[in-house]
Amino acid sequence: MSDAFRRFAVNRIAMIGLAVIILIVGAAVLAPVLAPFDPNEQFFEGLTIEGAPLPPNATYWLGTDQLGRDLLSRLIFGARTSLVVGVLANGAAVLVGTILGVVAGYARGVVGSVIMRFTDLMMAFPALLLAIALAAIFSPSLLIVALVIAMVNWVQIARVVYTETTALAERDYIEACRALGANWPRILFRHIVPHLVPTVLVYATLGIATTVLLEATLSFLGIGVRPPEPSWGNIIYENQTYFATAPWLVFIPGAAILLLALAFNLVGDGLRDALDPARQGR
């Protein structure tokens, strides 16, 4: 593991991604301290005489939105929402996908076939359309959005874990464990699951980027996190009518979403290279 850490540490691109993640997470944690204003406070002086949002200025560094609220404050607090949904949803998806993948890969037979056919069925539905349908059925909230995203994102990790578990279960040392009388919990948790940790860790990191983007998409469509609670997706949704006259209201939160997703992808790629020495030099 120390060798993997050293390989990751010398990957400059991955370290840049990690630095961006730390910066955004720090801003989210310290939001009450860093945000210059309450994210939901409306300022009469935050609008022009015509009622349009103010551009960036000395008082409102990133300008104001259509209700006279400080955009910088809403972005900082919105980072909390995007990260919480991303981590919760991806954590639940990884947990469910790993459990189902391991059970199907080790048990095989009828149990494995049923689990994997259900996984294939879920993969047949477009993730975004399925998420929209589920979000429309349930009353949108932070927890519901996270659960909806988890329900459509577990299938990829389940398929990957199933493939690796199937390959590991056929190794000679697993057959030797069975011959020595080891029970299945010992074989799974002592000899199979530890070998899956690098793969699960990489997909967990990459999956956060996907969940952040999906949350932003649902919020932009108006079926994600409900206003006035800020998230980067609903900031764009609320201000899309001012795209032509106040483009910063769309571009800035959009850039934040892109930056966070890119940072997690860079870290995920770095972890994949670090945990798989065979990829070095390719």
- For residue range 207-261, what is the model confidence (pLDDT) as tens digits? 888 888 888 888 888 777 787 888 888 898 888 888 888 899 999 999 999 999 9
Contact 74, 66 (CB under 8 A): no
Nearest partner of 81 among 264, 178, 245, 211, judged by Cα: 211
Q: What is the mean pLDDT of residues 173-181?
A: 80
Contact 150, 90 (CB under 8 A): yes
Q: What angle do CA 127, 24, 241 make, to 5 degrees?
A: 60
Residue 135, pLDDT score: 74
Nearest partner of 272 among 194, 201, 209, 212, judged by Cα: 201
pTM of the predicted model as reported, rounded to 2 decimal places: 0.85
Residue 281, pLDDT score: 45
pLDDT reading at 282 higher than 50: no
pLDDT confidence tier of residue 1, bands split at 50, 70 and 90: low
Among 3.40.50.970, 1.10.3720.10, 3.40.50.300, 3.30.1330.10, name the CATH number for the domain at 2-29+69-279. 1.10.3720.10
Contact 192, 168 (CB under 8 A): yes
pLDDT reading at 149 higher than 90: no
Q: What angle do CA 248, 254, 257 make, to 5 degrees?
A: 145
How many whole angstroms separate alpha carbon 213 and alpha carbon 261?
7
Supply the DSSP symbol for 191.
Answer: I
Contact 239, 63 (CB under 8 A): no
Contact 160, 203 (CB under 8 A): yes
Residue 189, pLDDT score: 82
pLDDT reading at 133 higher than 70: yes
CB atoms near residue 55 (< 10 Å) = 14
Tell me the pLDDT tens digit for each residue of 56-86. Answer: 999 999 999 888 899 999 999 999 888 888 8
- Tell me the average pLDDT of the chain: 86
Task: Quote the tokens at residue 132.
Answer: 């929209």
Nearest partner of 51 among 228, 246, 230, judged by Cα: 246
pLDDT confidence tier of residue 107, bands split at 50, 70 and 90: confident
How many whole angstroms separate alpha carbon 157 and alpha carbon 210?
13
Domains of the chain, residue spans:
2-29+69-279
Q: What is the mean pLDDT of residues 98-121?
A: 89
Question: Which residue has 């980067």 as its token pair?
Answer: 232
Contact 215, 233 (CB under 8 A): yes
Q: What is the mean pLDDT of residues 122-144?
A: 78
pLDDT confidence tier of residue 276, bands split at 50, 70 and 90: low
